[in-house]
Structures are given as structure tokens and as C-alpha cells.
């Protein structure tokens, strides 16, 4: 509980400030600049403060987005970061995420407006996770951790506000997607039996920090019957519903394994590639569903369905289309996320010269849990 | 206290509006382009439409252009290829299908814009639920593209169901979009009203 004295000492008139913040929020909501949740007003001073988190000038154009190829500037990114609740130490991740959004390989233009309502999946690798407290262990996908919650929201708002897409107008997601701005986590590299994603998949050094963007539609959590290799592998396959197909390295399925399950696979001598190959070789969908065109396989669809034998077709065409990462904390719960039609694209997170000072100045160490003091 | 605008600063007000291609007097005897934007329902819709147009306009000829994937028009070269197709086929008019999802509606406006740039009048076939989507995408690109919302229903690929929607009245409405003279606004010579 924050003491009333704290407010009296640090705010001239909390009631007045609160009222002004509400009024500014209503204005920003009316103008379509928010996601419906309250935002921090992007004042000149707060945006200038955010820009301390990058060596790039505010008018630097990261790239272009939308029908009119509107520029995504560093300043606009910072303003949306302020609104989402980010602090200057989050700015390097926002800049790298912005570069991912403007990369045509991300396919963000399609999946941001689609009726399917794809989410933005952001995975963070490297030492930046510790610097700015990006959670990769228990509760990594939230709620609870500021960086995890605000960075994805900021990048979603930046896309929306640069391209001016609104639900039912150009963002035509039929049902919407509760994960749209919420899927951001660090990889739990420390408890993984394998090389982290940015090293094994993207050829970065382990000491580099990266952000990876994909565009999945579904998040399915599951627990293996027993936390043993065969059941974990079986669970990965069983929880790829027939819609989750992967092909060509661009339509991907993401298997996010908790450390306990990943450890079991590692102890069994299975490499990440071994796991991918097993899933590729043992996941199938009914060919008759291809014949109905459900999976948009036009070559098959154009044939007479009666000519299609009743057989199975591979669900994952190649190991490039399956991603395996270690995420989360204690327990045996995993998640299958996909299919993704976004990217995946990975960008290096560049730090400003004053990084160490910024981290010291802006780090907030959570001090939430008091009960364990009983056992000290 | 100053607020920084988190949105795109260039609004619709600053958007230059391009003139649509002049319409034709009638469809019979004309060369009609059928543009398939790569969405699943586009092909059967255009197949059924083709048959009905052949009956209604016996002196017309037809040319088709099919995209493998709807988003490939993001590639400037592939978008330019649409304009080139319209020119090389010497189209008089073009009908595009289909706008029945978020990205396909967006990219159908891009395709129809490319055909209009060849001087060929167009009409896009759009599910009624995507009308606003069509309008905003078209205007953001600076083209007040014409469309019809009666001809198609989202994701319907059954030929019989498609044929039921393509009534004589609907065919007349499609023809009207390709023959009705342009308004001043559509010719890009009227002051903007938004």
C-alpha cells in the first residue's frame, strides 16, 4: 500500500492530476489513438524522456507502414511507448520491434487487418531480458510484468496509429483476438537444454539481444499425460489442431515448452532438430479436408475430391516451419501457438551509449512478495 | 502541457484524389477483364459471373488475371504487372473479385487501382460487411474506387449459391458501375468534403 503521505509529498494536487489524466484519456480514446484501455498521456516531456532510450533522432524513419506507406518515426514510436506505459529503458526493444514491423517479410500488413485476427507474437532473446526485467520464467505471458505487458502493447499501438486501422474499418478481425497486443515473453535460455532461438535459428551470438516477430492466431496450453519424452512429443502433435499447418518456413507453428518438459527431452538426448523432425514426421491431417479446400491447398482443391484417396498428409512440411523455444517456469504446462502467417523476422536490439546509466536510473525491482519472510 | 500526436500526422485531408477512368457506354461488345485477387472464393465467383456475362453480352470477349496469393501485390513489380495486363489485353472494363476478408479487400483495392491506372474502369465485388473496409482502403490510396455489395457473400464458393446472388438486377448494378458517368468528385475535380 502506498502511503498517503507519499502522495502529499510528491504531487501538488492528486485530484486535479487524476481528473486531467482522465480527460486526456477520453480525448485520445475519442480520436482512436488507444486500444480501449487507459493510457499515459504522451506529453512532450514524457516523449522526450523516452527518446533518451535511443541514440536515433526522433525524426528518424524506421520504415513505412499501411496503404499510404506512412512513416514510422522514432518519435511516434516513443509516443506510443509512453501511452502503453513503457519507460526509456524499453526504447531499444521498441526500435528493434518497429524495424520488424516495417520489414515486408513480417507480412504485418496482411495479418494486422485479417478477419482471422492474428496476434503479434514477440519473443525476446539475449541479455536485454535481465537488463529490463523481461520475464521468461513463471507467468512470462502475463499478467504481471511491466516490460512484457507494455512493449507488445506499444508496438501494437504504434502499428495501429501509424496505419490508422480500426476494428470493423480496416482491421477486419471477425471476433478480434485477446492476445493481439499481449503475446510477449523472453525465452528461458538459462533453463533450456538447447541453444536459444536467436542462436539456433537466426545465427546471432548468444550475447546479442534480439526481438522476433510472428503472427499466430491461436494459443493452446496443454500438459503432457506424463512429463516424459514420448508424452511430451505426443502432446506437441496432439495440440496442433488441423488448422495449424506449417510450410515453407513462413507459415509456422510455435512449440513453447516449459523448462521441465524441455529438460526431459534434453535428458533423452534429443536435440531441438530431433524434436522438430519427430513432429514433422508424425503429425498429419486428413487429406479429405484438403480436398474440401479447408487449408487453401489449391492444387488439391482443384481436383475432384472423389479422386483423393482417404489418406493423411503431413501437417508440417519442413522443420523450418516448426519453432521450438523454452519459456516459463515451474510445472509441466506447455503451449502450442499458431499457425503464424507473420514473418518470422528477427531484429538485433541496439543499445544507446548511456545504457548502463539508464538501466540504473529506470530499473524498478519488484518487491511484491512478503510471506516468505516468515521462513527466514 | 503539450501532447504529441501518436497517430499519423498526414490525414485524409491531405490525400490527393485521382480521377477514375472514364466509363464506357455499354458492356456488350466490350473486352471485359476478370481479376481474381487470389482469395478462395474469387475463382468460382468469376467462373459463374463469366458464364452469365457471356449470355448477357454475347458480343463481348473476356480476359482473366489470377493472383496466386492475395498479398503479392505488395511487391511493386507484381502490382505493375496488373496494370501491364490491363493494357496488353486492351481491356475496356474490369471486374475484380473478391473482397470478403480484411486483407483480400485491402489488396483488391490495390489491384483495381492498378487497372484504373491503365485507363480501364473497374468495379470490385465486395461482401456488404466489408464496404467500409473497401471505402477506407480505396480513399487512403487516393482512388474513389467503385464497388458492388450485392454480388458476393463472404467465403461462398458453391457455384449454385453464387449463381443465386448474380440475379439480372445484380448484373445490371455491376454494369451500372462501369457505365454510369463519373461524378465531379470521381473525376478528382471537386473540393474534398472530409
Residue B46 inside a domain? The answer is yes
A147-187: pLDDT as tens digits: 999 999 999 999 999 999 999 999 999 999 999 999 999 99
Tell me the CB-side half-sphere exposure of residue A196, using CA atoms within 13 A: 25
Query: What predicted TM-score, i.e. pTM, was given to this entire model?
Result: 0.91
Q: Do B8 and A47 touch (CB under 8 A)?
A: no
Interface test with B, best of A49, A68, A103, A173 (most B CBs within 10 A): A68
A331-349: average pLDDT: 96
Residue B76 inside a domain? The answer is yes
ipTM, two decimals, is 0.86
Residue B105 inside a domain? The answer is yes
Q: Give the integer Cα–Cα distance in Å for A232 and A249.
A: 23
Q: Mark out chain A residues that contact chain B at CB-CB < 8 A.
A: 24, 28, 31-33, 41-45, 47, 66-68, 70, 75-76, 79-80, 83, 104, 107, 109-111, 113-116, 157-158, 161-164, 168-173, 293, 296
What value does the CA radius of gyration of chain A take, rounded to a whole number of Å?
22
Q: Give the integer Cα–Cα distance in Å for A256 and A222.
A: 10
pLDDT for A374 equals 73
The rounded percent of chain A whose pLDDT value lies above 90 is 78
Q: Give the integer Cα–Cα distance in Å for A212 and A123.
A: 5
* Sign of the torsion formed by the C-alpha atoms of A199, A202, A203 and A206: negative
pLDDT for A294 equals 46
A51-69: average pLDDT: 96
Is residue B63's pLDDT more than 90? yes
Residue B48 inside a domain? The answer is yes
Residue B38 inside a domain? The answer is yes
Asked if B136 reaches chain A (Cβ–Cβ under 8 Å), the answer is: yes
CB neighbours of B160 closer than 8 A, spacing ≥ 6? none
pLDDT for A1 equals 42
Long-range contacts of A284-291 (CB under 8 A, 24+ apart): A284/A312, A284/A313, A284/A314, A284/A315, A285/A242, A285/A245, A285/A312, A285/A313, A285/A315, A286/A242, A286/A310, A286/A312, A286/A313, A287/A311, A287/A312, A287/A313, A289/A242
Q: If residue B96 lies in a helix (H) or strand (E), which one and from where to where?
A: strand B93-99
Is residue B168's pLDDT more than 70? yes
Residue B190 inside a domain? The answer is no
A274-290: average pLDDT: 84
Interface list for B 74-133 with A (CB within 8 A): 74, 101-103, 105-106, 130, 132-133
Residue B194 inside a domain? The answer is no
- Select the more confidently predicted residue: B57 or A298: B57
Give the total number of structural domains in chain B. 1
For residue A34, the chain B residue with the least C-alpha distance is: B6
CB neighbours of A337 closer than 8 A, spacing ≥ 6? A121, A183, A216, A218, A219, A220, A253, A254, A255, A256
| Total Cβ atoms within 10 A of residue A30 | 9
- Extract the C-alpha cell encoding A55: 541514440
Q: Do A33 and B105 touch (CB under 8 A)?
A: no
Task: Using an 8 Å CB-CB cutoff, list chain B residues near A33.
Answer: 6-7
* Angle subtended by helix axes A74-84 and A146-163, to nearest 10: 130
**What CATH number is given to the structural domain containing B46?**
3.40.50.2300
Residue B1 inside a domain? The answer is no
A36-53: average pLDDT: 97
* Angle subtended by helix axes B42-56 and B168-179, to nearest 10: 90
A304-323: pLDDT as tens digits: 444 544 556 788 889 999 99
B12 pLDDT tier (thresholds 50, 70, 90): low
Tell me the CB-side half-sphere exposure of residue A194, using CA atoms within 13 A: 32
pLDDT for A303 equals 46
Is residue B128's pLDDT more than 90? yes
Tell me which residue range forms the domain holding B46: 29-184
pLDDT for A370 equals 77
**Does residue B98 have a cis bond before it (omega within 30 degrees)?**
yes
A63-107: pLDDT as tens digits: 999 988 999 999 999 999 999 999 999 999 999 999 999 999 999
Is residue A208's pLDDT more than 80? yes
Is residue A292's pLDDT more than 60? no
Amino acid at each position: 500500500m502506498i502511503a498517503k503521505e507519499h502522495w502529499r509529498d510528491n504531487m501538488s494536487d492528486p485530484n486535479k492530476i487524476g481528473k486531467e489524466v482522465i480527460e486526456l484519456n477520453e480525448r485520445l480514446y475519442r480520436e482512436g489513438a488507444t486500444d480501449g484501455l487507459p493510457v499515459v498521456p504522451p506529453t512532450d516531456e514524457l516523449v522526450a524522456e523516452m527518446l533518451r532510450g535511443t541514440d536515433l533522432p526522433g525524426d528518424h524513419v524506421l520504415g513505412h507502414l499501411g496503404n499510404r506507406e506512412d512513416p514510422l518515426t522514432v518519435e511516434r514510436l516513443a509516443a506510443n511507448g509512453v501511452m502503453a506505459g513503457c519507460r526509456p529503458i524499453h526504447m531499444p526493444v521498441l526500435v528493434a520491434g518497429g524495424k520488424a514491423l516495417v520489414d515486408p517479410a513480417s507480412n504485418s500488413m496482411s495479418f494486422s487487418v485479417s478477419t482471422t485476427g492474428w496476434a503479434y507474437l514477440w519473443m525476446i532473446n539475449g541479455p536485454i531480458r535481465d537488463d529490463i526485467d523481461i520475464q521468461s520464467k513463471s507467468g512470462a505471458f502475463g499478467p504481471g510484468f511491466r516490460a512484457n505487458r507494455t512493449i507488445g502493447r506499444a508496438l501494437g499501438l504504434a502499428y495501429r496509429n501509424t496505419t490508422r486501422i480500426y476494428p470493423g474499418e480496416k482491421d477486419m478481425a471477425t471476433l478480434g483476438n485477446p492476445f493481439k497486443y499481449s503475446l510477449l515473453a523472453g525465452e528461458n535460455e538459462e533453463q533450456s537444454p538447447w541453444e536459444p532461438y536467436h542462436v539456433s535459428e537466426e545465427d546471432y551470438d548468444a550475447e546479442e539481444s534480439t526481438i522476433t516477430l510472428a503472427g499466430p492466431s491461436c494459443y493452446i496450453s496443454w500438459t503432457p499425460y506424463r512429463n516424459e519424452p514420448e508424452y511430451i512429443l505426443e502432446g506437441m502433435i496432439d495440440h496442433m489442431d488441423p488448422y495449424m499447418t506449417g510450410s515453407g518456413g513462413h507459415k509456422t507453428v510455435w512449440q513453447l515448452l516449459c523448462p521441465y518438459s524441455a529438460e526431459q527431452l534434453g535428458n533423452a538426448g534429443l536435440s531441438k532438430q530431433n524434436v522438430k523432425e519427430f513432429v514433422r514426421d508424425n503429425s498429419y491431417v486428413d487429406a479429405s479436408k484438403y480436398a474440401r479446400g479447408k487449408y487453401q491447398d489449391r492444387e488439391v482443391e482443384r481436383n475432384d475430391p472423389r479422386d483423393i484417396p482417404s489418406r493423411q498428409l503431413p501437417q508440417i512440411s519442413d522443420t523450418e516451419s516448426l519453432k521450438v523455444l523454452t519459456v516459463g517456469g515451474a510445472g509441466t504446462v506447455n503451449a502450442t501457438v499458431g499457425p503464424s502467417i507473420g514473418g518470422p523476422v528477427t531484429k538485433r536490439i541496439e543499445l544507446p551509449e548511456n545504457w548502463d546509466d539508464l538501466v540504473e536510473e529506470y530499473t524498478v525491482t519488484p518487491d511484491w512478495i512478503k510471506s516468505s519472510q516468515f521462513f527466514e | 502541457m503539450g501532447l504529441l500526436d501518436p497517430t499519423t500526422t498526414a490525414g485524409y485531408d491531405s490525400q490527393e484524389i485521382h480521377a477514375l477512368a472514364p466509363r464506357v457506354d455499354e458492356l456488350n461488345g466490350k473486352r471485359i477483364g476478370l481479376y481474381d485477387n487470389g482469395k478462395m472464393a474469387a475463382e468460382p465467383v468469376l467462373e459463374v459471373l463469366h458464364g452469365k456475362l457471356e449470355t448477357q453480352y454475347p458480343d463481348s470477349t473476356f480476359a482473366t488475371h489470377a493472383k496466386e496469393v492475395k498479398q503479392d501485390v505488395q511487391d511493386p513489380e507484381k502490382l505493375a504487372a496488373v496494370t501491364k495486363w490491363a493494357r496488353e489485353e486492351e481491356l475496356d472494363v474490369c471486374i475484380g473479385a473478391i473482397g470478403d476478408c480484411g486483407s483480400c479487400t485491402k489488396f483488391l483495392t490495390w489491384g483495381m487501382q492498378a487497372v484504373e491506372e491503365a485507363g480501364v474502369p473497374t468495379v470490385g465485388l465486395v461482401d456488404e460487411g466489408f464496404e467500409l473496409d473497401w471505402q477506407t482502403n480505396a480513399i487512403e490510396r487516393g482512388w474513389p474506387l467503385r464497388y458492388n455489395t450485392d454480388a458476393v457473400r463472404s467465403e461462398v464458393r458453391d457455384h449454385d449459391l453464387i449463381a443465386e446472388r448474380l440475379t439480372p438486377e445484380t448484373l445490371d448494378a455491376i454494369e451500372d458501375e462501369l457505365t454510369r458517368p463519373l461524378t465531379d468528385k470521381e473525376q478528382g475535380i471537386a473540393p474534398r468534403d472530409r
